[in-house]
């Protein structure tokens, strides 16, 4: 039955119109290449993405059609490879690039870059990822391109534990440092205001739709327990033993807390079944007090509140930990030896690899990276005393409607789909940043209630609640993304099976009736062991050693 379904699915993909990839010479406009993004999103053509997209197409000499995958990402990759129906390029968005490499569908890029992309080569040398892109001892080829901002400054924090502004204002700006603090604030406000605008107030909600369960459901447990961002695995700094991190007692404490919050009626009953659109729509009602997430996921819902002037219903991020004295952690604490996360690759079906790599070389230039974020001088921003300053109407549009700003003008074009610089990375002058946020601009981006809350706590930004990257020790081993990208087919299957168990059984433990959490958690651990979690962590440990040998420590 599975084989029949696979063949039907492959046939369906083969029948899908892919539009022209590598348009013929003489066609009107620059040749168009097709890139599939292994993530949900809105499809678009670069040249139609406002003045910025049109400029990129004109200056680079090619156009790009971006098509996003629908449904399960692993299945999308498997079907693409099984059918052999490949686009010109694939953006993995941090997903696993190894299936394309194993199937010999990924182009080796070393010579292409050396001959046609001097700017890209320099970027990769400057951030020390050129050598770490080598695939293995046996195969030193370079098959994928990473993000460019390996090291960057952190200005603000917009992730993990959010609390609605009206809650902290109503309660007189209480300390929000532990799960207990967070819980008390939500419960107190819930008791005072069981309804908001005629609808039941929701204490907390989260998003477990598709892959997002990792961000909203399990990553907060990692952060609350004080770990640096380490994906699904954790390396004991003393013993170098690799753990599937959710098995740590410190994280179990977090899920026991969620179980209590569930049984106390604080957690939204739709938290484990709602879709992304339903989740964002719920946030936009203004009746959700607490969120465990990253700001870009619920951003459109919060932007709707901002547009309606309901600023007290928007959110601030707080340094919540399981226990007093635990060092609060965020993505700012991701300090692995190297970080070369796969961003995109060129396939063997690319019609003109030289033209495509020249496009990428232009895209990573200062001119293109500034334009994708700022637009054009005199039109969207001005330079005052050596600093770029965006005109207020465009800054407000980006803050209140980032998706609309991208569609209308092209701001933020491609997101993380192509190698690029993001927040905290300085341009080549050293005087400005590639993105529109900077230490001087952070408070400019805040609205009046944000500022009221920050002033109430006596800080300048929400980032001031958290440690800076340099406060964390450097971890002398590779990042998880560099390890999981090396998984062979057997290890990928094993990893996916263990992850399926984790998602299912963690939710079952959270919604367990009072007094049954321990039994459900024991079932989770037992089921992970039956699926081979010990073999998985041993494979990760072996790959980590192989990677460090490849780099020469």
pLDDT tens, 116-150?
999 999 999 987 788 888 888 888 899 989 888 76
pLDDT band at 2 (very low <50, low <70, confident <90, very high): very low
Q: Which residues lie below 8 Å from residue 537, measured CB to CB, with a gap of 6+? A: 233, 242, 243, 244
CATH number of 2-150+341-409: 3.40.190.10
Whole-number pLDDT of residue 237: 81
Q: Phi, psi (5° rounding) for residue 182?
A: -60, -45
Domain ranges in the chain?
2-150+341-409, 159-324+466-551
Rounded Cα distance between 220 and 238, Å, is: 24
pLDDT band at 27 (very low <50, low <70, confident <90, very high): low
Judge whether 2-150+341-409 and 159-324+466-551 match in fold: yes
Contact between 355 and 62 (Cβ < 8 Å): yes
Strands 202-205 and 159-164, by their bridges, are unpaired
Residues in the chain: 553
Tokens of 382: 């001005």
Rounded Cα distance between 158 and 466, Å, is: 11
Tokens of 545: 């050693």
Rounded Cα distance between 514 and 535, Å, is: 33
The pTM for the full model equals 0.77
Q: Could you report the per-residue pLDDT of 49-98, keeping only the tens digit for each?
A: 999 999 999 999 999 999 998 877 778 888 888 998 899 999 986 557 78
Whole-number pLDDT of residue 296: 87
Rounded Cα distance between 362 and 163, Å, is: 41
Instruction: For residue 346, give the nearest of 109, 20, 124, 123 by alpha carbon.
Output: 109
Say if residue 21's pLDDT is above 50. no
pLDDT band at 340 (very low <50, low <70, confident <90, very high): low
* Greater pLDDT, 336 or 187: 187
| 50-60 and 353-363 helices, crossing angle to 10° | 130
Rounded Cα distance between 512 and 509, Å, is: 5
Whole-number pLDDT of residue 239: 87
Rounded Cα distance between 97 and 90, Å, is: 9
Share of the chain above pLDDT 70, in %: 91
Whole-number pLDDT of residue 127: 79
Yes or no: domain 159-324+466-551 corresponds to CATH 3.40.190.10: yes
Instruction: For residue 353, give the nearest of 138, 128, 175, 108 by alpha carbon.
Output: 108
Say if residue 363's pLDDT is above 70. yes
Q: Which residues lie below 8 Å from residue 250, measured CB to CB, with a gap of 6+? A: 225, 226, 322
Q: Phi, psi (5° rounding) for residue 335?
A: -130, 65
166 sits in the region (left: phi over 0; alpha: psi -120 to 50; else beta) called: alpha
Instruction: For residue 418, give the nearest of 66, 158, 55, 29 by alpha carbon.
Output: 66
Whole-number pLDDT of residue 485: 75
- CA 470 to centroid of chain Cα atoms: 22
Q: Within 13 Å and on the Cβ side, how many CA atoms surround 33? A: 25
Say if residue 490's pLDDT is above 50. yes
Whole-number pLDDT of residue 40: 80
């Amino acid at each position: 039955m599975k084989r029949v379904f696979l063949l039907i699915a492959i046939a369906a993909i083969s029948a899908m119109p892919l539009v022209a990839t590598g348009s013929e010479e003489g066609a009107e406009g620059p040749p168009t290449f097709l890139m599939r993004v292994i993530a949900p999103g809105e499809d678009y053509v670069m040249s139609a993405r406002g003045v910025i997209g049109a400029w990129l197409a004109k200056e680079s000499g090619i156009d790009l059609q971006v098509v996003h995958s629908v449904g399960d990402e692993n299945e999308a990759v498997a079907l693409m490879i099984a059918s052999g129906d490949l686009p010109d390029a694939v953006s993995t968005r941090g997903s696993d690039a190894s299936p394309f490499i194993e199937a010999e569908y990924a182009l080796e890029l070393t010579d292409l870059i050396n001959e046609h992309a001097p700017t890209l080569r320099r970027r990769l040398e400057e951030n020390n990822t050129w050598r770490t892109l080598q695939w293995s001892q046996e195969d030193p080829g370079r098959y994928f391109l990473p993000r460019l901002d390996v090291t960057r400054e952190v200005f603000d924090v917009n992730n993990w534990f959010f609390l609605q502004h009206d809650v902290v204002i109503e309660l007189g700006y209480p300390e929000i440092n532990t799960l207990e603090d967070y819980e008390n604030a939500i419960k107190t406000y819930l008791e005072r205001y069981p309804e908001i605008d005629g609808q039941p107030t929701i204490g907390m909600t989260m998003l477990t739709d598709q892959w997002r369960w990792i961000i909203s459901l399990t990553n907060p447990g990692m952060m609350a327990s004080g770990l640096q961002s380490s994906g699904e695995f954790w390396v004991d700094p003393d013993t170098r033993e690799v753990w599937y991190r959710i098995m740590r007692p410190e994280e179990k404490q977090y899920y026991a807390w969620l179980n209590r919050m569930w049984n106390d009626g604080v957690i939204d009953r739709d938290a484990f079944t709602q879709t992304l659109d339903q989740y964002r729509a719920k946030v936009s009602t203004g009746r959700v007090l607490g969120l465990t997430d990253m700001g870009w996921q619920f951003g459109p819902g919060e932007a709707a509140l901002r547009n309606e002037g309901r600023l007290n219903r928007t959110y601030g991020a707080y340094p919540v930990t399981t226990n007093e004295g635990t060092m609060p952690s965020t993505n700012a604490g991701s300090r692995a030896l190297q970080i070369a996360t796969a961003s995109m690759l060129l396939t063997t079906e690319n019609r003109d690899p030289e033209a495509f790599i020249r496009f990428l070389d232009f895209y990573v230039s200062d001119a293109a990276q500034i334009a994708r974020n700022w637009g054009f001088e005199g039109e969207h921003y001005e330079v005052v005393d050596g600093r770029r300053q965006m005109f207020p109407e465009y800054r407000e549009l980006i803050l209140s409607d980032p998706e609309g700003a991208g569609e209308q003008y092209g701001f933020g074009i491609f997101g993380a789909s192509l190698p690029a610089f993001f927040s905290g990375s300085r341009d080549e002058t050293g005087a400005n940043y590639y993105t529109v946020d900077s230490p001087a601009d952070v408070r400019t981006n805040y609205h009046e209630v944000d500022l009221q809350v920050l002033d109430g706590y006596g800080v300048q930004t929400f980032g001031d609640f958290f440690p800076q990257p340099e406060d964390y020790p450097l971890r002398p081993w590779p990042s998880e993304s560099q390890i999981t990208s090396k998984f062979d087919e057997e290890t990928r299957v094993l990893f996916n099976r263990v992850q399926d168990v984790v998602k299912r059984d963690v939710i079952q433990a959270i919604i367990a009736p009072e007094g049954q959490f321990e039994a459900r958690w024991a079932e989770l651990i037992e089921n992970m062991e039956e699926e081979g979690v010990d073999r998985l962590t041993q494979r990760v440990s072996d790959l980590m050693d192989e990677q460090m040998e490849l780099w020469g420590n």
